[in-house]
Amino acid sequence: MKQGLKRAFHRLLAMTWLKPGATRTVAFGPYRGLTFQLNEPMMSRLGTFYRAYEPDVSAWLDANIRSGMTVYVVGGHVGIHVLHIAQLMQARGHIYVFEGWPDNVAALQRNVDLNPQLQVDISVLPQCIAAEAGIVNMAEGTSDGKHHLSNTRDSASHTIEVEATTLDQFWQTRKTCPDVVLIDIEGYELDALEGGERMLSACKPRLVLEHHGEEAALIDWLSIRQRPTRALGHRHLVTS
């Protein structure tokens, strides 16, 4: 019964208020006060208007993000976590957001622009994070949140060329350590870590990783480097 009511409520919102192309401000829930444009990538995230997206991650952010932090978000999608982090920073801090897929970059930048009240520096970077810098292929995923670095298994997928950097290279150009790094890049999280080993050693940021079934490999890699992890729900790992 409860799930049926939720689905009915969701459908009612989608039909009457959350229509494609509209710009809407969240009226209640954890993202109250944030404004999003309902472009195509955002239409699959309508629950954002009344509940937390990835509740375990959102709760961790609530407990750990502080004003004045520097945060890297690797795989920014349309910016839901990005804008939530900016809210928690209370008008002081810097967020660097990496997103390689052009449609997602445009949606992300639009959502950032719609929220000037946050008064946090948010840099949207149209780049992938990879193990090595250069030009890489991205493969189109089965949905807007699943585009990813291409490999030999993606031979039938539509691919595009995008610029990639590494966490080490980016950190060395900015000379500012991140306090927190969120990584969700559809199974290529280990590549991102391998390209950021110097930064991780020097800065020791807290990490939030969606593991996409590669949990054991990520735990082993971090354990060797004395970075203990714990599960955050069923899909994520965090470091202390």
Task: Tell me if the pTM is above 0.85.
Answer: yes
- Residue holding tokens 């375990």? 56
C-alpha 76/C-alpha 221 separation (Å) is: 24
- Helix, strand or coil for residue 103? helix
Structural domains in the chain, CATH included, are 53-239 (3.40.50.150)
- Specify whether the CB–CB gap between 36 and 60 falls below 8 A: no
For 32, other C-beta atoms within 10 Å of its C-beta total: 12
- Let me know: does 132 contact 159? Beta carbons within 8 Å: no
Place of tokens 């969120």: 182
Taking only the tens of pLDDT, the chain with its 240 residues reads 566 666 666 677 666 778 888 899 999 899 999 999 988 878 778 888 889 999 999 999 999 999 999 999 999 999 999 999 999 999 999 999 999 989 899 999 999 999 999 999 999 999 999 999 999 888 875 544 445 566 655 555 688 899 999 999 999 999 899 999 999 998 889 999 999 999 999 999 999 999 988 899 999 999 999 999 999 999 999 998
Nearest to 173 by CA among 90, 66, 63, 96: 96
Rounded Cα distance, 62 and 8, in Å: 29
- Collapse the DSSP code of 178 into the 3-class scheme (helix H, G, I; strand E, B; otherwise coil) and give the result: coil
Q: Return d(Cα 175, Cα 102) in angstroms, integer.
A: 27
